[in-house]
Structure 1
């Protein structure tokens, strides 16, 4: 009998790879996406389409009311999204306070209700410089807490925690994944901007893998 797992699925290329990796490992996957008041819902629409195509059970949960409490991010407030690489100081404006702790807590509650014992999410080494809630020490502590927070132990799984986006894409390409089914750009326009940190890191990953990004770009 397949093991049930919950995958936090944003619609981006990292979580898309994690979702497919969990499926290919033989797990019964329950995908969970969140509307937390981000600038656009394009990535959620992409996530929905992918799960429908794969026949994966998928929930999109509206938690946008939390923006009354956790404002100040360029991803949720009326603040310009910075352009440039993730290693630049300006990218700190894209931090949504406590986001991953909140999302993981909700995903763990869902896992307990399903009698699933693992929650997957797509933190990776490229996030470590800017996002504290993607660093190994955070994942370790969250894993420790989630194992004792309920009668049923739930493990936090980050298969790419020590990998770069370049490595993630390499793994996904080896799995023959179609990355036209993902959305990465912080802006929700018809085409990706090619200038924000998310786009730049994505384009760098494709270039380093000698592959062509199937998404159209404004520039």
Structure 2
């Protein structure tokens, strides 16, 4: 395997689908994913858009793609959101978004505005390709659920995201798109929870800062 890694240090290897056996594909991906060479990012993107590659490879490919970016937002903007928007099947979209919670865990303190922009980009990517046809609704519902979980996780980690216009508007767009699907009740439930969390956040701020907090937030309403 060391020889293989040396061989592909500069030139991109053939696609994983060039290997016939599934275990060979897994072994090749495990070895190649150690590399963050210039070809690594486009290689992962190409692999993730290849629908002939089973979805069981999606998690490791996404993890590898994330490793080629400096931070979560650049990963979302340059790779993750474009992949979601370009997905040709609802099932692949769902498989991509299923990993969002694991991929986008904050590695350190991140500005709420940055987190909100990332969420908005993912929501918009889903809505650009979302199909509510009968054969795709199950996958769409799973995609919505993945984004809702991500929103809740990030709100728990960085409560200030609840006050970011980009986050609020993204939730509104997702809610509107899901209103005619079987996920509408889940969206409404999460919306209620986020609203209560927002009220609690504002109340705590008022208790700490009093009139100054009221002046600050009234200007944003």
Q: What is the TM-score normalised by the length of structure 1?
A: 0.27
Quick check: which one's strand share is greater? 1
Quick check: which one's helix share is greater? 2
Q: What is the TM-score normalised by the length of structure 2?
A: 0.26
Instruction: Tell me which structure has the larger Cα radius of gyration.
Output: 2
